[in-house]
Amino acid sequence: MPVTAETAAALARADEHSAHNYSPLPVVIESGAGAWVRGIDGVDYLDVLAGYSALNFGHAHPELLAIAHEQLGRLTLTSRAFQHDRFAAFCADVARLCGKDAVLPMNTGAEAVETGLKLARKWGYEVKGVRADCAEIITCSGNFHGRTIGIVGFSSDPDAREGFGPFPAGFPSVEYGSLDAMANAISADTVAVLVEPIQGEAGVLVPPDGYLAGVRRLCDDHGILMLADEIQSGLGRTGDTFACDHEGVVPDVYILGKALGGGIVPVSAVVADRDVMDVIGPGRHGSTFGGNALACAVGSGVVRLLETGEYQRRSRQLGEHLHGLLKELPPDRVTEVRGRGLWAGVQLAPGQPSARVICERLLARRVLAKDAHEGTIRIAPPLVITREELAWAVGQLADALVG
């Protein structure tokens, strides 16, 4: 499908005055509903990326839109200098969902990760008694937790790191999936471990069975915190509310984002019990927009959707269907399919075109997907997608692999 003149002109206008920090596929979207979006070229596309899980409930979910519209007409922002009438309910709702005591709301996922790191360090000094300015938080290779200076300092992706140093110290990195490596990295100065239950940006990497439970045991044995970055993996994506649930693991700190905003507004949160959260007092941390009224209203709506269990069930059942279809792709073109629930990383065989090229071919077939590094196609459709739409999308992928 050739790029229309209207699309090409819109892309050129954007290119002229925007920073070139993304290399998007050549499509310009003007509207969306459910799992489908429409381009300014008048073509409908099936979205199997879902904003990296930010759109777990699809585009323009009617219940969430109604909440947002009602709240927009009443109150959007007060800043945390004042209380508003949606704040208490939002905090109670998210705390209940996580089985924790307290919520510290922010806006973006990266902000939530930074908040979790600050919380862990403060806890390490005030509760664990680590030496001043010596706290360490163990991270994992292949991680993606955001793009702030602090976070990219412990990234192993050269594109994320190069040209941005020097970086803050205190974040030793170990091999993802290796409990031995993590155990060997723990020292008297260790206050926490930061882990993604499934690494999305690295290519939807699922750790070995028992890894998360092993991380939990190490943290318990050494008196340190387990921080679970569930920004992409949480809120129904993997077939449970949280990816940690698959191993019956409860971290000390949940880090949430993306789907918490229902695809409408940026909402993130750090969730912990009082014995951890209460080390943060007035003036220690905050955000002008964190916990704003519109965000709280939409976030509470998201919690209500998740508490029905419908979306976790859909992800679990449709995920089995998706992975079954993907495993039928020809082995000379696809060597591995990884993932859980409605989340998959399709690993291309050596010698195949790049994942970017395959995604461009999918675009021409009206399917929107995204590469994760050169050799992996990432598939994470909205949880409202149907079996028939999944089958059609995988059929288009099979066709795109051929040429």
Question: DSSP assignment of 145-157, as one string?
Answer: ---SHHHHTT---
Active-site entry in 57, 87, 90, 144? 144
> By three-state DSSP, how is residue 388 classified?
helix
Q: In terms of CATH architecture, what is 75-307? A: 3-Layer(aba) Sandwich (3.40)
Domain 5-59+310-402, CATH homologous superfamily name and number: Aspartate Aminotransferase, domain 1 (3.90.1150.10)
Domain residues of the chain, as ranges? 5-59+310-402, 75-307
Full pLDDT tens readout for the chain, 403 residues: 789 999 999 999 999 999 999 999 999 999 999 999 999 999 999 999 999 999 999 999 999 999 999 999 999 999 899 999 999 999 999 999 999 999 999 999 999 999 999 999 999 999 999 999 999 999 999 999 999 999 999 999 999 999 999 999 999 999 999 999 999 999 999 999 999 999 999 999 999 999 999 999 999 999 999 999 999 999 999 999 999 999 999 999 999 999 999 999 999 999 999 999 999 999 999 999 999 999 999 999 999 999 999 999 999 999 999 999 999 999 999 999 999 999 999 999 999 999 999 999 999 999 999 999 879 999 999 999 999 999 999 999 999 999 8
Active-site entry in 242, 258, 370, 371? 258
Does 118 participate in catalysis according to the annotation?
Answer: no
Active-site entry in 41, 47, 93, 229? 229
Q: Do domains 5-59+310-402 and 75-307 have the same CATH topology?
A: no
> By three-state DSSP, how is residue 267 classified?
coil
Using alpha carbons only, what angle is made at residue 219 by residues 187 and 184, rounded to the nearest 5 degrees? 40
Cβ(120)–Cβ(137) under 8 Å?
yes
pTM above 0.85, yes or no: yes
Q: In this structure, what are the phi and psi dihedrals at residue 64, rounded to the nearest 5 degrees? A: -70, -35
What's the chain's length in residues? 403
Question: 181 CB contacts (<8 Å, ≥6 apart)?
Answer: 174, 175
**What is the sign, positive or negative, of the torsion defined by CA atoms of 29, 375, 203, 175?**
negative
